[in-house]
Structure 1
Amino acid sequence: MNYNVKHLQIYLFFICIITIFSCKQDKRPDISNIKLAIKVQRFDQDLYNGKNKNLLQTDFLLNNKYGNFYNDFIHKMVGTPELKGTEVLSILYKDQAYTDLNKEVDSVYPNLTKVEKDLSESFKYIKHYYPNTKVPKFISYLSGFAYQVILADDYMGIGLDMFLGANSKFYPAIVQNVPMYASRRFTPDYIVPRINEVFAREELFLERDEDQNLLSKMIYNGKILYFLDQVLPENTADSVKIGYTSKQLEWCKNYEGNIWGLFLQNDLLYQSDLQKIQVFITDGPFTLGIGNKKESAPKLGFYVGWQIVKKYMSENPEITLQQLMAETDAQKILTKSKYKPKESQ
């Protein structure tokens, strides 16, 4: 008898777990009818394969295949406007550093199958919410750590040399230009979130010039992060979306009420003096003057804005994602969110 009761309890437990999991899954819209299979063109491989071949022919073939991207690469990314394509190619092919970097990129990314799968999924969600969105073509390259993600008129570029992994041997050498707190994010996990963030900020939801006070900037960035919640693969970590370490994210969760209290006590929400608010909206290894032993997270305004937007959406379930992203009244979002986090003691 006890045996049957025990197994019934286990059975009911798993039924509950399955039900909860199913409900969570059902929150996402069905995108199975959206036909989209993104492929990333490997300019980095095509470029390197031209080494030891006729420069004129390589220049012609790359220009013919990649068009505007190749022109940008030659004249803006690695070269200068006055140099010809063959001249830039000659410089690159003779540079041992380029060869070494290319081999490293190729070893980390022999293929981009997972990137293509996750990009296809995320852009299906974008197409679901915004059907008229034009999905760009995607091109991978390496630019000597100059450009990570580029959004142009007809393509998005992915600088694979800036996603080699936090422990890449190359990153300590560029620390003067790219600090270690930034290069620790140069991992494969960041490719798709970074692409979606750039696309959201630069294509779908441009920040308005009139949004100058801290609250407006908090809500804008909170909406961007909430948008990423809706379109990125569900297994994407929150820490990756906002660019925190797991410890920084946990710190923010623990001291969310204290951060909010700091904003209120210092009358910062409606402050538009950049010198007074930039510490809360700019990136860095931590937030200067807050927390012990440099444990605080950077971009605290982004994090709090994210929580306000999430609370707003949970308090107002009739609001759609499109309505949220179109809403320009930051005060309205704050008021209707009923956001009142408790301070940590």
Structure 2
Amino acid sequence: MKLEINVDHFERDFFGLDTNKLEQGLDSLKTKYGYFYNDFLYNIAAFSMDDGELKGQINAFLRSNKEVYDSVDYYIPHLNRQIKEIENAFKRAKIYFPGLDLPTKVITYIGPIDGYGSFVSKSGLCIGLQQFFGSKFSGYIKQADYLESLFGKQRLQQFAPDYIAPNAIMSWINREFPDKAGHFTLGEKLAEEGRKVYLLKALLPDLTDSAIFGYSESQTKWCHNNSIIIKRYFEQKSLLQTKNPEKIVAYLSDNLRPSDLPKEFPDNIGKYLGFIMVQDFMDDHKNTTLPVLMELDFGKIRLK
């Protein structure tokens, strides 16, 4: 399947700006990057739209994030591998979903650490490299308490190079198959999230389950070995029928946790149970294609 992903490194062009010729440099960036230029300036970096303030804000951003930019090659030495994983994922998506328009460009950038990790724009699939340096990066260590309060420990585990491809592809999945409107039960919401994880695994079959689920290796192994315990926990507490939004969010969040959830259960345990529900459904309905699965009525996917 022919599908070539072009890669533009916005961070190289942006941090390579000649601050003595900033207007000319910004004009060149705007011409090269189109929609992403505005995405970065006003949504990611949150610069002022007042031209009188913009120059000072850009200079301050370049100074304060120079360490992050200089660290890219050290902390993410194999970026070409992750880009190839993304390209292969979209080649598979083209086979599974021949009617969909797929991104043909990846744009990497450096933004605020507490900002976006990846998103899809009109310009392509955009990846904020600042969120994938690994746990030893000093920038994370310096802001550890703040980042943990914002993202949660579970999400911070994913601030590493191995999570670039699954994070980016999941952002595309969320864009292409947005959540349905409506007041769901937890069971229906788990089915919705589970089918996205199932699709992610299908598009990135060579990745570890830890990378797919966003868990540590030990957490993933525990879940695989104790799937029956996880199912019974939800059954015994009659959780799948609840429509309480707070409970639904707590079981599907990296930074919230139900107070009575056993300590061995990882945060966002709903993601795993949802995947198991979908996997069981697909095992029982082997003729179901991925396009059909992604449009399926969630009520048909139930806990076995």
Aligned-pair CA distance for 1:124: 0.5
Matched, 1:274 2:245: yes
The 3-state SS of whatever aligns with 1:269 is helix
- Judged with a 3 Å threshold, the aligned counterparts in structure 2 of structure 1 residues 41 and 309 are, in CA distance, closer, same or farther, namely same
| Seq. identity, % | 27
Equivalent residues, number: 296
Match of 2:42 in 1: 75
Match of 2:184 among 196, 205, 212: 212
The 3-state SS of whatever aligns with 1:311 is helix
- Which of structures 1 and 2 has the larger relative contact order (alpha carbons within 8 angstroms, sep 6+)? 2
Aligned-pair CA distance for 1:218: 0.7
Q: Is the 8 Å Cα contact of residues 214 and 268 (structure 1) preserved in structure 2?
A: yes
The 3-state SS of whatever aligns with 2:71 is helix
C-alpha distance in structure 1 between counterparts of 2:40 and 2:267, whole Å: 33
Aligned-pair CA distance for 1:266: 2.0
Matched, 1:90 2:62: no
Q: Which runs of 5+ in 1 are unaligned?
A: 1-33, 341-345
Aligned-pair CA distance for 1:280: 1.6
Match of 1:305 in 2: 274
Matched, 1:189 2:189: no
The amino acid that maps onto 2:134 is G
Q: For 1:172-204, what per-residue CA distance to the aligned partner results, in whole angstroms no more than 9, with x for missing partners?
A: 2223442144222111111111111111012x2
The 3-state SS of whatever aligns with 1:54 is helix
Q: Is the 8 Å Cα contact of residues 74 and 88 (structure 1) preserved in structure 2?
A: no
The amino acid that maps onto 1:322 is P
Match of 1:156 in 2: 125
C-alpha distance in structure 1 between counterparts of 2:141 and 2:283, whole Å: 43
Match of 2:283 in 1: 314
Match of 1:172 in 2: 141
Aligned-pair CA distance for 1:56: 1.7
C-alpha distance in structure 1 between counterparts of 2:122 and 2:33, whole Å: 13
Match of 1:229 among 172, 196, 201: 201
Q: Is the 8 Å Cα contact of residues 149 and 194 (structure 1) preserved in structure 2?
A: yes
- Judged with a 3 Å threshold, the aligned counterparts in structure 2 of structure 1 residues 79 and 206 are, in CA distance, closer, same or farther, namely closer
Q: Is the 8 Å Cα contact of residues 79 and 88 (structure 1) preserved in structure 2?
A: no
* TM-align CA RMSD: 2.1
The 3-state SS of whatever aligns with 1:40 is strand
C-alpha distance in structure 1 between counterparts of 2:186 and 2:81, whole Å: 37
Matched, 1:130 2:122: no
- Judged with a 3 Å threshold, the aligned counterparts in structure 2 of structure 1 residues 243 and 109 are, in CA distance, closer, same or farther, namely closer
The 3-state SS of whatever aligns with 1:264 is helix
- Judged with a 3 Å threshold, the aligned counterparts in structure 2 of structure 1 residues 80 and 254 are, in CA distance, closer, same or farther, namely same
The amino acid that maps onto 1:218 is L
Match of 2:171 among 189, 198, 208: 198
Match of 1:332 in 2: 300
Q: Is the 8 Å Cα contact of residues 171 and 183 (structure 1) preserved in structure 2?
A: no
TM-score (norm 1): 0.80
Aligned-pair CA distance for 1:285: 8.0
- Judged with a 3 Å threshold, the aligned counterparts in structure 2 of structure 1 residues 301 and 225 are, in CA distance, closer, same or farther, namely same
Aligned-pair CA distance for 1:59: 1.1
- Judged with a 3 Å threshold, the aligned counterparts in structure 2 of structure 1 residues 184 and 167 are, in CA distance, closer, same or farther, namely farther
Alignment of 1:14-25 (within 5 A): none
Q: Is the 8 Å Cα contact of residues 195 and 293 (structure 2) preserved in structure 1?
A: yes
Aligned-pair CA distance for 1:50: 1.4
